[in-house]
Amino acid sequence: MSPPTSVTEPIRQEMLVARILALHTHDVRFPTSLSLDGSDAMNPDPDYSAAYARITTDAGDGLEGHGFVFTIGRGNDVQVAAIRALAPYVLGRDVDAVLADLGGLWRELVHDSQLRWLGPEKGVMHMAIGAVVNALWDLRAKREGKPLWQVLTALSPEEIVDLVDFRYLTDVLTRDDALAILRAAEPGRAQRESVLLTEGYPAYTTTPGWLGYDDSKLDRLCREAVADGFTQIKLKVGADLDDDVRRLGIARAACGDGVRIAVDANQRWDVGEAIRWMAALRPFDVAWVEEPTNPDDVLAHAEIARAIAPVPVATGEHMANRVMFKQFLQAGALQVLQLDATRVAGVNENIAVLLLAAKFGVPVCPHAGGVGLCEAVQHLSMFDFVAVSGSAEGRVIEFVDHLHEHFVTPVEVHGGRYHAPKAPGAGTEMLARSLAEYAHER
Amino acid sequence: MSPPTSVTEPIRQEMLVARILALHTHDVRFPTSLSLDGSDAMNPDPDYSAAYARITTDAGDGLEGHGFVFTIGRGNDVQVAAIRALAPYVLGRDVDAVLADLGGLWRELVHDSQLRWLGPEKGVMHMAIGAVVNALWDLRAKREGKPLWQVLTALSPEEIVDLVDFRYLTDVLTRDDALAILRAAEPGRAQRESVLLTEGYPAYTTTPGWLGYDDSKLDRLCREAVADGFTQIKLKVGADLDDDVRRLGIARAACGDGVRIAVDANQRWDVGEAIRWMAALRPFDVAWVEEPTNPDDVLAHAEIARAIAPVPVATGEHMANRVMFKQFLQAGALQVLQLDATRVAGVNENIAVLLLAAKFGVPVCPHAGGVGLCEAVQHLSMFDFVAVSGSAEGRVIEFVDHLHEHFVTPVEVHGGRYHAPKAPGAGTEMLARSLAEYAHER
């Protein structure tokens, strides 16, 4: 006979461990092309969509982890297929162990010896990893009963750097460099957290500036933005120079001189064209020019930045990974860094990006809008303010007042500021009825 | 009553037009991890695979267009899903019209306003476009009854530049620059074509150098390579420096001094490590170091190239698009350009890459091996020799003697040279029984 302990102990142990049960996916598409919300020079008719991941466990606590990749319509099914392909990497795993080492899981997924051929670290497969990683962060935050930003700001500098993969970064940022940045920000954490909870974080709005809107709508929305307390707006440009000059004139007149007006070309130009176009827009005191050309083109952005200085170049929403951000910073190719919550491989990679930006002293002004990007990215900016850069100076989070009603904990933006979220989670959970109602029929 | 001509003429016209009937996909995987063929420092256990596209028409000529994306196993299903997502873009279209304007189709697919969000121009979606574009080139070549390289070399300079999208390239390569390069090569075309048909194109072999092979197999394969007429071999490095020093010693002794030995680190190093490692390998007279670090890192490659000169840096098999190639050339970050037949968006984008390389005077030594990459890429090098760079000096196509038996027109490599293919098509058609036998079961 076997000794009873050696049999029953592992079984009891096994029963105490919560496991990941399922990785559900949803192809969610909103028919936004009908209203031209979101129209710009490169994206005339987007259907804002989400390739959505929902992770369930057998913990019996009813908590799920939700994450997604934002897309603009066609191809969302491919993005969903990529998320589904990651199920074998998480199913059956010990929930506590996975959530306690999300840096380890990130490396496992991103450096998978076969999957990485599909990138490496870019495009559909990389963004799919981001959705799964973000869903796990959502689950972790819910289990801790805190909003994600407070989960992150409660970590020690050592715990934070353990989340980051420094591979390919060490020529400009080592683990020790990162620790030094985080330790320097430690003393002020509590004070900044209290500022955040009372004052929120500054926002700017893109709502007035879509290319598909006519002049009177532009004028009206600019005035409404200023009345709502925004101190910065953004206009889409790049389709037609005469139109842009006219629209900037309308916006400047409507906003007055005290409001910053950024412009966004959505990758429309080559180098020479960008420089000529921006020269024509110079009279309008442009706050920044966003995505002047191809988002992979470090050297082109650097050349444009030199030519149009002091107007800053902003980019990041299409930047595939931390190695690209590193180079843009090294080359002086961006002066405003616009990370995106669902373009790179999730929270962990965005922490690397925040550390890189802090190393170079470049402000992070995240890309948002789309589907749930405001809900997700606010946590990263707030974490940055409390624990990384320690500053909100020159920093604003994009805000578009659009599709928030589909989220369980929609952002609260009032008086031109994001209120610090207090609900547990990463902000990324969509309402079940929205998932159902906007499910894409193949 | 309607006049008879206005009714019957369009119907007869309609019946004369051949249409694209279907875009079939296949998930094909070879269990290569069992033998460690293809093992390197980053890819210890690849299962060489193809996400395969097969285009059929109602032309009644029995001709199909075949193309694929090479992957190394897991995720091949995602790549297949991406190819399938492109079906609506080609189904029902006029075959002659599509094949007569593949530059137009390329722009339509790559700049699709919704799909491009998934890249842009990188990763799974971009490679899927490559598979479809290459399948259409295969169909066009079969319909013309010529191998692809001769289809391309029969085009005028104007027809060639029409295939290329110069967007984002014009700061270094305009349409006029490209025309000048092609016109300069025109007078020698016929003479070089005849050289190619009699002498073939130089090859080098990677067969001896996989990391998973033991020392005696390495020694034996090196001797066989030299006996087979190869004047260059390549060894995988980067897992362990002592092993690499020992293996390079074995290879140099087996090959003798007259044979070039390149090394391939498969992205294993950060900048400092690459420079230190290559210093240790300097005594072995290395022909080039391939993929020393992350393939997106222009600035890191430039720094490594400066530090290890005169040893050339080679890269390209993971370079996502023409904009990345442009920057590597601008920055002096590569001295050997290794384009890949299935990484970028097909033949059209690779023509852009060949033109960029010619502009900078950098030799193109394509990546091959995998599944069908030798079969596909030889056409590009031969086109380059005849009509673009006009030179084979310093140029070699990679050769791995592996999986060719699955192709309808396998490469012929003898005496260390690729024989110019004469069969109609792009070389990309796999045997129907191989497609069936190695179909991946979900």
* Segment B408-421, tens digit of pLDDT: 999 999 999 999 99
Mutate to test the interface with B, among A45, A110, A111, A113 (most CBs of B within 10 A): A113
Burial B19-56 (b: 16+ CB within 10 A, else e): ebbebbbbbbbbebbeeebbbbbbbeebbbbbbbbbbe
- Contact list, A344 vs chain B (CB under 8 Å): none
Closest-CA residue of chain A to B43: A113
Q: What is the pLDDT of residues B215-264, one digit of tens each?
A: 999 999 999 999 999 999 999 999 999 999 999 999 999 999 999 999 99
Q: What pLDDT, on the 0 to 100 scale, is given for residue A239?
A: 92
CA-atom Rg of chain B in angstroms: 22
Residue B158 in domain? no
Out of B43, B118, B296, whose CB is closest to A321?
B296
Residue A116 in domain? yes
CA atoms lying within 13 Å on the CB side of residue B213: 21
Query: How much is the average pLDDT of B310-335?
Result: 98
Mutate to test the interface with A, among B171, B303, B326 (most CBs of A within 10 A): B171
B300/A298 Cβ within 8 A: no
Count how many domains chain B has: 2
Residue B185 has pLDDT above 70, yes or no: yes
Instruction: Please pick, among B236, B326, B379, B402, the residue that the annotation labels catalytic.
Output: B236
Burial B103-130 (b: 16+ CB within 10 A, else e): bebbeebbebbbbbbbbbbbbbbbbbbb
Q: Given CA atoms B90, B316, A326, A304 in this order, what sign does their dihedral have?
A: negative
**Chain A nearest CA to B46, separation (Å):** 6
In one letter, which amino acid is B255?
C
Residues B133 and B183 grouped into a single domain: no
Q: In whole numbers, what is the pLDDT of chain B averaged over residues? A: 95
Residues A198 and A317 grouped into a single domain: yes
Q: Given CA atoms B208, B214, B215, B220 in this order, what sign does their dihedral have?
A: negative
What CATH number is associated with residue B417? 3.20.20.120
Q: What pLDDT, on the 0 to 100 scale, is given for residue A12?
A: 54
Cis peptide before A292 (omega within 30 of 0): no
- Contact list, A43 vs chain B (CB under 8 Å): 113-114, 117
Residues B202 and B302 grouped into a single domain: yes
3-state secondary structure of A61: coil
Three-point CA angle B262, B267, B268, nearest 5°: 95
Question: Which structure tokens are listed for B47?
Answer: 């299962």
Out of B47, B82, B169, whose CB is closest to A124?
B82
Q: What pLDDT, on the 0 to 100 scale, is given for residue A2?
A: 39
**Chain B nearest CA to A299, separation (Å):** 7
Domain range for A288: 178-437
Q: What pLDDT, on the 0 to 100 scale, is given for residue B15?
A: 64
What CA–CA distance (Å, rounded) separates A70 from A52?
9
A170/B271 Cβ within 8 A: yes
Residue A130 in domain? yes
A171/B303 Cβ within 8 A: yes
Nearest to A157 by CA among A344, A337, A381, A383: A383
Question: Which structure tokens are listed for B28?
Answer: 């094909």
Residue A429 in domain? yes
A179 phi and psi angles, rounded to 5 deg: -60, -40
Chains A and B: how many Cβ contacts under 8 Å? Answer: 191
Nearest to A287 by CA among A262, A318, A269: A262
Nearest to B245 by CA among B231, B254, B235, B260: B235
Give residues with Cβ within 8 angstroms of A156, minimum separation 6.
none
Residues B136 and B280 grouped into a single domain: no
Residue A307: is it exposed, middle or buried by C-beta count within 10 angstroms (0-12/13-18/19+)? Answer: middle
Question: Which structure tokens are listed for B433?
Answer: 């029984």
- Contact list, B340 vs chain A (CB under 8 Å): none
Residue B35 has pLDDT above 60, yes or no: yes
What CA–CA distance (Å, rounded) separates A425 from A139?
7
B323/A75 Cβ within 8 A: no
Residue B405: is it exposed, middle or buried by C-beta count within 10 angstroms (0-12/13-18/19+)? Answer: exposed
Out of B74, B295, B327, whose CB is closest to A112?
B74
Residues B55 and B185 grouped into a single domain: no
**Chain B nearest CA to A440, separation (Å):** 14
Q: What pLDDT, on the 0 to 100 scale, is given for residue A33?
A: 80
The single residue listed with the structure tokens 């965005």 is: A350
Residues A9 and A85 grouped into a single domain: yes
- Contact list, B302 vs chain A (CB under 8 Å): none
Residue B6 has pLDDT above 80, yes or no: no
Single residue among B97, B127, B145 that ends a domain in this structure: B145
Q: What pLDDT, on the 0 to 100 scale, is given for residue A11?
A: 54
The single residue listed with the structure tokens 């799919």 is: A128
Residue B168: is it exposed, middle or buried by C-beta count within 10 angstroms (0-12/13-18/19+)? Answer: buried
- Categorize the per-residue pLDDT at B154 as very low, low, confident or very high, splitting at 50, 70 and 90: very high
Residue B162 in domain? no
What CATH number is associated with residue A16? 3.30.390.10
Q: What pLDDT, on the 0 to 100 scale, is given for residue A36?
A: 65
Residues A115 and A217 grouped into a single domain: no
Residue B9 has pLDDT above 60, yes or no: no
Q: What is the pLDDT of residues B330-375, one digit of tens each?
A: 999 999 999 999 999 999 999 999 999 999 999 999 999 999 999 9
Q: What pLDDT, on the 0 to 100 scale, is given for residue B209?
A: 86
- Our answer to whether residue B404 is catalytic in this structure is no
Give residues with Cβ within 8 angstroms of A176, minimum separation 6.
none
**A8 versus B184: which is more confidently predicted?**
B184
Residue B186 in domain? yes
Bridge-based pairing state of the strands A201-209 and A397-399: parallel
Closest-CA residue of chain B to A317: B117
Nearest to A416 by CA among A222, A221, A196, A227: A227
Residues A140 and A194 grouped into a single domain: no
Long-range contacts of B94-99 (CB under 8 A, 24+ apart): B94/B17, B94/B18, B94/B19, B95/B17, B95/B18, B95/B19, B95/B20, B95/B57, B95/B59, B95/B139, B96/B17, B96/B18, B98/B20, B98/B136, B99/B136, B99/B139, B99/B140, B99/B143
What CA–CA distance (Å, rounded) separates B248 from B201?
26
What region, left, alpha or beta, does residue B374 occupy, with left being phi > 0 and alpha being psi -120 to 50 degrees?
Answer: alpha
3-state secondary structure B326-388: HHHHHCCCCCEECCCCCCCCHHHHHHHHHHHHHHHCCCECCCCCCCCHHHHHHHHHHHHHHHH
A73/B85 Cβ within 8 A: no
What CA–CA distance (Å, rounded) separates A17 from A31?
42
A318/B170 Cβ within 8 A: no
- Our answer to whether residue A367 is catalytic in this structure is yes
Residues B196 and B273 grouped into a single domain: yes
- Which residues on neighbouring strands pair with residue A205, listed in sequence order? A233, A399
Instruction: Please pick, among A26, A146, A236, A326, the residue that the annotation labels catalytic.
Output: A236
Q: What pLDDT, on the 0 to 100 scale, is given for residue B126?
A: 98
Residues B133 and B202 grouped into a single domain: no
What CA–CA distance (Å, rounded) separates A279 from A386?
38
Q: Given CA atoms A398, A401, A402, A408 in this order, what sign does their dihedral have?
A: positive
Three-point CA angle B360, B130, A68, nearest 5°: 110
Question: What are the CA-CA distances from residue A319 to residues A152, A163, A368, B127 (Å)?
Answer: 23, 20, 14, 18
Single residue among A129, A145, A161 that ends a domain in this structure: A145
Single residue among B122, B145, B168 that ends a domain in this structure: B145
Instruction: Please pick, among A126, A142, A301, A367, the residue that the annotation labels catalytic.
Output: A367
Q: What pLDDT, on the 0 to 100 scale, is given for residue A16?
A: 82
- Which residues on neighbouring strands pair with residue A217, listed in sequence order? none
Neighbours of B314 (CB within 10 A): 25
Question: Which structure tokens are listed for A214?
Answer: 């006519």
Bridge-based pairing state of the strands B313-315 and A65-71: unpaired
Neighbours of B412 (CB within 10 A): 14
What CA–CA distance (Å, rounded) separates B134 from A90?
36
Nearest to B289 by CA among B327, B238, B230, B218: B238
Three-point CA angle A197, A50, A129, nearest 5°: 80
Residues B244 and B117 grouped into a single domain: no
Residues A137 and A233 grouped into a single domain: no
Mutate to test the interface with A, among B117, B122, B125, B211 (most CBs of A within 10 A): B117
What CA–CA distance (Å, rounded) separates B334 from B205?
21
| DSSP label of A388 | I
Residue B170 in domain? no
- Number of residues in chain B: 442
What residue ranges of chain A have pLDDT lower than 50? 1-8
